[in-house]
Chain A
Amino acid sequence: MSDSCCDGNARKAQAGDCCAPDGNVMLLSCSGGSNVGQLANQACVELTQEGFGKIFCLAGIGGKLSGFVRSAKDVPRMVVLDGCEVGCAKAIFKEAGTLLRGYVVLTDLGISKNKDFARKREDIDQVKAAAKQASQAQV
């Protein structure tokens, strides 16, 4: 919750728009053990740093921790990035009984999966653009 008004942004609090994540897009990635898993994670990190949304823990949903699962159910907008068609993030949502929204598979964007863990700038930018598009579709 580091960049939310809940951490003490009094101006926002006084305006009455504090805390509820209405303006925040929940960003989730599989963060898996390949270049595309790590690209997904990097895209979520950068989108958080740029203020587009807020990265959230997919592992907490996978562990069926109450706060994480409920947050995923209640948030107005989310983006879920899976690195490849194996679909681990998608499977986690199914297991947790949570509706999957804003879903993007990086290999569907034409990015090849490999184990070199190289994260090219152009690939990160492509993933970020796809994430923004997936989020906009929920407005």
Chain B
Amino acid sequence: MQIKILGPGCPKCHKTEEVVREAVAEAGVQAEVTKVTNTMEIAAAGVFGTPAVIIDGDVKVVGKVPSKEQVKSWLGK
């Protein structure tokens, strides 16, 4: 599973990364978590704002910090 967290470095983006990493660890799933800070790469994802979370190419959330439970549901847990 490939997870990308889009955000150039604001507090909400950091929080999102923290939540996603915790959810992945607690769910016990194999996932590669990548933080994307390059604005061109973020723009290429077609998102209106950040933070955003992409799992296996599917954008799951835009402009909000997801809850850990939300992330776990995206992980199938």
Q: Which residues 37-72 of B sit at the A interface, judged by CB distance below 8 A?
A: 39, 42-43, 45-52, 54, 57-64
Contact with B along A72-100 (1 / 0, CB 8 A): 11111000000000000000000000000
Nearest CB of chain B from residue A61's CB, rounded to whole Å: 9
Chain B CB within 8 A of A60 CB: yes
Residues on A with beta carbons closer than 8 Å to the beta carbon of B42: 1, 6
Tell whether, in the assembled complex, residue A66 and residue B59 are in contact, meaning their CB atoms are under 8 Å apart. Answer: yes
C-alpha spacing A67/B55, complex, angstroms: 11
Tell whether, in the assembled complex, residue B9 and residue A1 are in contact, meaning their CB atoms are under 8 Å apart. Answer: no
Chain B CB within 8 A of A122 CB: no
Tell whether, in the assembled complex, residue B59 and residue A24 are in contact, meaning their CB atoms are under 8 Å apart. Answer: no
C-alpha spacing A65/B43, complex, angstroms: 13
Tell whether, in the assembled complex, residue A74 and residue B61 are in contact, meaning their CB atoms are under 8 Å apart. Answer: yes
How many chain B residues touch A (CB < 8 A): the figure is: 27
Tell whether, in the assembled complex, residue A20 and residue B51 are in contact, meaning their CB atoms are under 8 Å apart. Answer: yes
Tell whether, in the assembled complex, residue A19 and residue B58 are in contact, meaning their CB atoms are under 8 Å apart. Answer: no
Residues on A with beta carbons closer than 8 Å to the beta carbon of B48: 21, 24, 26, 54, 56, 71-72, 74-75
Question: Which among B7, B58, B59, B61 has the greatest number of chain A C-beta atoms within 10 A?
Answer: B59
Q: Which residues 1-28 of A sit at the B interface, judged by CB distance below 8 A?
A: 1, 4-8, 13, 16, 18-22, 24, 26
Chain B residue with Cβ nearest A4: B49
Instruction: With A18-B8, A19-B50, A54-B48 as known contacts, state yes or no: A71 contacts B62, CB within 8 Å.
Output: yes
Residues on B with beta carbons closer than 8 Å to the beta carbon of A75: 48-49, 62-63
C-alpha spacing A18/B8, complex, angstroms: 9
Chain B residue with Cβ nearest A69: B59
Chain B CB within 8 A of A68 CB: yes
Tell whether, in the assembled complex, residue A68 and residue B46 are in contact, meaning their CB atoms are under 8 Å apart. Answer: yes
Chain B CB within 8 A of A129 CB: no
Q: List 21 A-B contacts (CB under 8 A).
A: A1-B49, A6-B10, A7-B39, A13-B9, A13-B10, A16-B11, A18-B12, A19-B50, A19-B51, A20-B50, A22-B63, A54-B48, A57-B46, A66-B57, A67-B47, A67-B52, A70-B59, A70-B61, A71-B46, A71-B49, A74-B48
